[in-house]
Structure 1
């Protein structure tokens, strides 16, 4: 009975904030130690757990394994357990011209997913493109700074933030997409749903008019978000 609490509290809560990979840009530094949650009942998928803390299933990508979920499903088949919640799936609807209330609900539910996709699909391609135009290698940018672009550098110290700002200022398109990210976050932080929806709609309009292909593609997908029925 002490196996999982011992490893989860003493091991995962320590190493699981410094080493591993992240599926979601959660409000902390949590990481997944391994895609295979076999040793500690799935707690290895620490970042997934922090993104969806009430979900009974921690494996959220096709290559991830959560042995705890396998046990739960077995107990459920024997009518010895009942699953109350799992992380909701994300769907993309066709022919959506502007975000609506369903879009807003899906984006708020999958906030971490949306911001992670923004980093992978908008920020990093922009950084690579501008580096190539300047005949530079993107790997010349320290990995810590590259990762910091995913969350606005919130975990950097003062010197690190200054270095990140210098990096951004030297690249005008990168600066633009970073500004768009900050505005998207501000829209999602709006507590009045009607205003949040108006802000999101305006954000999509401006993103689609930006002339930045990766940003336009991201906005086209974002506005069609919906929770899978």
Structure 2
């Protein structure tokens, strides 16, 4: 049985099949997306001509270090393909993302993609979203208000802490993240609408009707899931 890291690498490698010369490629964030960026950097060193739009400062730095030309949306207003990871993948390719804290920029890049591809190992497949903590990015001033509203909705939350005990985790845009306690999301669309309507919420980790394809590595192969795939 391959290790989880080996499975992530297999999924990242399959994603390279969707990259063609001249493309603008959205570079995701997180462990599996990082593997994809490293593999893409190797192709660039071998002569592949592409440009990248990164979904985080970390991904932009890594891509630049590997020789990938990094641009912004002022140079191209969409990506041909975006490759990113996910914390959970449910039927319809409904996703929870944001475990790495980059959900705002990840959703911006995903929303501007002609083709949005998820790379993951089989452990990320679920029948219902909610085993993973749902992240909600908030303006610091609004945190107490949003915390109370989430509690009223039945989603108690806590402020994400930075690694190493240095205090609250701060996003690339200077915001806080509230991590909702794990619980099954009965109706993701309804919850997403509630979160979208909360003043002070910048973005949330429900990525619905966005992914076109998920490349999921299991014990025997990398399986392609579409929104129509039966799980």
Greater helix content: 1
Superposition TM-score, scaled by structure 2 size: 0.28
Superposition TM-score, scaled by structure 1 size: 0.28
The answer to which structure, 1 or 2, has the higher relative contact order (CA under 8 A, 6+ apart) is 2
